[in-house]
Structure 1
Amino acid sequence: MSTVSVINVSGEIEQSYIEELEKNEHNVRSVASDDIDSAIEKTDIIIIYNEIQQNMSEVCRLILKIREEADSSLWVFSKKNSETDRILYLQLGANNNIDGECPPEELQLIVKNEAALKSVTSGFVKDRIQTENSIGSKVQLNAKNQSVLSSDGREIELTKLEYKMMEILNSTDETVGYKELYTQLWSSYQKHSKARIANLVFHLRTKFQENGVLDIDIKTVRSQGYRLITW
């Protein structure tokens, strides 16, 4: 059973969606937008629900805040979104957008499939969790191509910033703090820098997942920074 936290920014998600999720053994809870810690804690999936397009800035704030602290699947559910809004939410770290055309049954199936995928990934991690505290080999990086090599020889191309991030994390077995990461990546430390780093990490994780790379992960160490994990 997965836990779904719904953050109602404006309006409230219709009861039919909650009933459909609960009927299929998902635990659904409503969380206030000013209580992000409750949304993050022991939550598999977070849904930000917003009926009014003018509240876009608040939705963006929530996405950035959640991505600073958690790796939960994150979706934005809006009655109607412009293409620009949808793209922005994805760039900030949302996994997907849902609109009013999505019926309760479809949302339930999306949650079910997402939970199944997380379960498979979680099982893979648990089978190798004993290596987390004693990382063996480093990740293979190709400076010429700005890429990372998986254990089975696949090459994943990275952007300049993504590659630099991997170099920093790959240089140590310890957690690298937000300030140190930001300073090395952008040469200065500024307000909201955690969100910028979280967005970069999100895109790296997405590339690993899309390429089926399960032996490399970037672990969020809450309130501290990030640590590279390999198996």
Structure 2
Amino acid sequence: MKKVTVLLVEDEYDFGFILKQYLEMYDFNVHWYQNPMKALDDFSIINQCDIAILDVMLPQMDGFTLAKKLQEKIDFPFLFLTAKNQQIDRILGLKLGADDYISKPCDPEELILRIKNVLNRKGYKSTREEILIGSYIFKPKQLILQHSNTDYQLTEREVSLLLLLTQYNNQVVTREVILQHVWKNTDYFTGRSMDVFISRLRKYFQNDDRIKIQSIRGVGFHVVFPVD
């Protein structure tokens, strides 16, 4: 299963080191740069990233300028780190497409939740060509789920649903989260449609009994996607 990869640009060594360690503890891949120019130069690295966390006050280039230059290379969501009580042009950040602001020093657990919320709002999609789910190979860009010599052609909505579920491996995802991020609607009939799609995914995965999308009545689904 692909981990979420974070581009972290923070020039303060102690804070950046702690933040990197904490993100990795929560199973994120982290590419940390103290120098924004170096981050821009490493296109092969930033092309692997799913989200960026940028300090506003950086040497050589502020976070807003860095965000604008990054957007010229790749499209991913980003959050700004700001010093407590720091006066910044939040309107400029919003115009650039900032997804959130976080004050330093921040509560690491709050940061983790904010990252997950941003990715969920964006309908996070893996940048990798293939995602391993047990004995299956999921190819989201090709709309294919592959097992042995069999290819299951997926619909775009099935792909969106499966991508969302991969973010919740060994966790519970609520019905509301799925409906909001895949169907953009939470009414009764949409909920019934979601149940049909969940049933389809279970049928696709019937050849590997380790893979589970377990219903939790009144809550949602517990997802178990083993990684071979």
Please state which band the TM-score falls in when normalised by the shorter chain. 0.3 to 0.5
Higher helix share: 1
TM-score (norm 2): 0.46
TM-score (norm 1): 0.46
